[in-house]
Amino acid sequence: MLTAHTRSGKKINLGYNYKKETLLYFRSKEEFFCPICGESVSLKLGDQRIFHFAHKQSSSCSEFYENETITHMEGKRQLYQWLIRQRIPSVLEFYDKEIGQRPDILFKFKEKKYALEYQCSSLPENAFIKRTKTYLKNEYHPLWILSSNHIHQKKLDIISLSNFHYLFLRATSSGNLYIPSYCPEKHLFQLVGSITSYSIKNAFAQTSQYPLNDLKIEGLLEPISEHHLNLSSWMSEIENFKFNLTRHPVKIQNPFLNEIYTKNLNLFLLPPEIGLPVPHSLTIQTAPIIWQTYLFLDVLAGKNPNDLITLQEIKAHFNKRIRRKDIIIRNLPQLVQVTPLLAEMEYLQHLVRFGILIRKGNTEFQVQRKITIPRSNREREEAKTLFYQKNTRILTEK
């Protein structure tokens, strides 16, 4: 840890760039205590490690400080100094006794109170959610920043993201979703935005890099993204996903394969209107090709032109699939205003723009024409070519 109190109550903050000689003098004259548990702590001034305070091995304060890595301490020290240079009121390792939590940095910006957490190691999902909910309940704005060594780019525009990564997902005031990360070794922010998932672990995304001194707090809280999805790459990855689905069908996907075959559908002859990118597909862990097929089977397939589809009907089928675990929803604790049903509504809005549905008020759609199921590979390829020629602009614009 980087903060401690002296016996007289003076706070020593190692977030500042103290010279070693000054700290050696302090250590010879003072005794240091943990601000949370009150136990005596040691001031470590080695040449190979960052200056820090350490509990004794028998300490009962392990919940907050045990196994804190050098990368973590250095990262939060740099982020603290970054905020101070911008004259943003900040407190390093502030402990809120009322909620029993200690963000790495408490800071205030535009009359809002932020709890910044710089996370280097894996954290159980339930612990992450509990801490985030506690912050929100007590009028903190949580700002979780992931260590950049957790970010793994697979291709130029494809990234591998686990459920742990998605916990860090946050929204700008305009609704853009992104994951902030930071590398203290390179003094570099990496912001992962424009995330469009196509499988449980893989997504198209834009990763933007900013040197620490080139990014201000506004740029971290409100990053601007101009990225547009490469539709040909999306189509290729969807085809690869379908191939791998049949080649290595895992247990949770078998019910999907069984159901479409029972309904006399061929996974490789699904119409091009199924398996489309939508901005909030990341709220659903289940792949778009799967949950959009379920929406087709549950709602669209049985409707004829001029039939009505109600929002209540869509919700009922969606929730039924969730209860049956056909569709798995992601935990996104920082997105309290975002519902997974939004992804389905974005998909239905695509169908409106394709001329398949007509929007009738706020709660109803009317079928204008049915989605045609191809009967052969040739028919499917012809339909796909025509579909993307007509609708590329619709699918790629923000």
What are the domain boundaries of the chain?
3-64, 71-221, 231-396
Domain 71-221 has CATH 3.40.1350.10: yes
Please tell me the predicted confidence (pLDDT) of residue 26.
73
How many CB atoms are located within 10 Å of the residue 173 CB? 7
pLDDT for 207-233, tens place per residue? 999 999 999 999 999 998 777 888 999
Contact 143, 124 (CB under 8 A): no
Neighbours of 197 (CB within 10 A): 26
d(C-alpha 54, C-alpha 2), whole Å: 9
Among 243, 320, 242, 234, CA closest to 281: 234
CA 329/CA 278 separation, integer angstroms: 15
Q: Which two tokens stand for residue 57?
A: 């091995």
pLDDT of residue 274: 96
pLDDT digits (tens, 9 = 90+) for 130-182: 999 999 999 999 999 999 989 888 888 899 999 999 999 999 998 899 999 99
Encode the chain (398 residues) as per-residue pLDDT tens digits.
777 777 777 777 777 777 777 777 777 777 777 877 777 787 787 765 677 778 876 666 655 555 678 888 889 999 999 999 999 999 998 888 899 889 999 999 999 999 999 999 888 999 999 999 999 999 999 999 999 989 888 888 899 999 999 999 999 998 899 999 999 999 999 999 999 999 999 999 999 999 999 999 999 999 987 778 889 999 999 999 999 888 876 655 588 998 998 999 999 999 999 999 999 999 999 999 999 999 999 999 999 999 999 999 999 999 999 999 999 999 999 998 889 999 999 999 999 999 999 999 889 999 999 999 999 999 999 999 999 888 888 887 76
Identify the CA nearest to 69 among candidates 82, 83, 52, 56.
52
The pTM of this model reads 0.88
Q: pLDDT at position 398, please? A: 60
Q: What radius of gyration, in Å, describes the C-alpha atoms of the chain?
A: 26
pLDDT at 397: 73
| Residue 329 DSSP code | B
The whole-number pLDDT of residue 236 equals 92
